[in-house]
Amino acid sequence: MRIARLAARGFGLAITPWVMVGRTLWGARPFQPEGELYLAEVTPESDDADAAALGERLAGPALVRFSAALWDEPGARLDLLGCAIRFGWSGDPDDDAGAQDVVLASFHHLATLPLAALLTDARNYLANDYYSVLHFRTPEMGEVELRVTTPRGIRVRDRARAARLARAVAEGPVTLLLEARRAHWRAGWRSVARIALTQRAPVAPSRIAFSPFHDGRGIEPVGALGFAYVASDRLRRRATRRDAA
C-alpha cells in the first residue's frame, strides 16, 4: 500500500507541469474554473444496498457548477467541460464545514485527455457525461470512481451553452444521475442519487472554491491526480494574490 501511494504521488508530481502549462497558456485554471451555479436537491436512488447508503450520505441540498476549463469564450467549439457538486450546501459560501465536494470533467481517463476536447460537446452542458477521474474512498462501497450522467433529449433553441442550461432548468425538470463504480475492471456502474437542479444560485461563482479535499461527508479522494489538483489550487491562489496586488 505504501509503495502504491508513493507511486501515485510520483505520477501526480509528473503531471503537475501540465497543470502549470494550462494555467500559463489559457489564463484558465485546470480543475478550477468558474461557471454557472445552480441550487439542487439530492435524493438517494439505487437498487444496490451499498450505493443506496452512499446516496443517503449525500442527500439534501447541493450546489452544482457547470463550467468550461480551457477558454473564456462561451462560443468555443473545442473545450473541456466540468461539473462540480457541493453536497451539504449551507447557503453560505464562507461555510464549507461538513460539505462534500465532487469535481468531475468531460473525460474519463487521463490517457484520453488529448482527444477529450474533440469528444466533448462544448456547446451544451447537458450533452455530456462527467467523470471524477479521481477515485474516492467511501465507507459504503470502498474505493470508487464517480460519474454524473445528464438527461438527453432536452431541446432548447439558445445557442450559448449557459443560456441553454438556464432555459432547460426554467422549463424543468433537469435531473442529473450520480453513479458509482467500484475500482476494479469487472465492476459496473450503480446509480447512487438523483440531483434535481431547481434554480440559479444567488452567489457569485468567484466566491466558491470547489475542491475534492472538502470531504466533510467522509468521501476522501485517492490517487495521483490529487497532487495535480493541489498544484492547481496553489497556482490559483498565487494568481489571485498577484492580480489583487
Question: How do residues 145-169 score in pLDDT, each as one tens digit?
Answer: 999 999 877 776 767 889 989 999 9
Q: Tell me what pLDDT residue 55 has.
A: 98
CB count within 10 Å of CB 238 equals: 11
Per residue in 165-214, pLDDT tens?
999 999 888 999 999 999 887 899 999 999 999 999 999 888 888 888 88
DSSP 197-231: EEEE-SS-GGG----TT-BTTS-EEESTHHHHHHH
What are 18-39's pLDDT values in tens digits?
Answer: 444 444 333 444 444 578 999 9
Q: Which domains does the chain show, CATH number per domain? A: 35-221 (2.40.180.10)
Per-residue pLDDT of 100-137, as tens digits, reads: 999 999 988 777 777 888 889 888 999 999 999 889 99
- Structure-block grid coordinates of residue 241: 494574490
Q: 198-212 b/e with 16+ CB inside 10 Å = b?
A: beebeeeeeebebbb
Q: Which comes out higher in pLDDT, residue 229 or 126? A: 126
Question: Above 80 in pLDDT, residue 77?
Answer: no
Residue 230: pLDDT over 70: no
Amino acid identity of residue 203, one-letter, is: V
Q: How far apart are CA 214 and CA 221, in angstroms?
A: 9
Closest CA to 203 of 57, 98, 95, 103: 95
Instruction: State the pTM of this model.
Output: 0.81
Contacts of 49 (CB under 8 A, 6+ apart): none
pLDDT at 62: 98
- CA–CA separation, 80 and 99 (whole Å): 25
Which of left, alpha, beta for 2 (phi over 0: left; psi -120 to 50: alpha)?
A: alpha
- Averaged over 13-19, what is the pLDDT? 44
SS3 8: helix
Q: Looking at residue 19, what DSSP letter applies?
A: H
CA–CA separation, 140 vs 145, rounded Å? 13
Q: 64 vs 8, which has greater pLDDT? A: 64
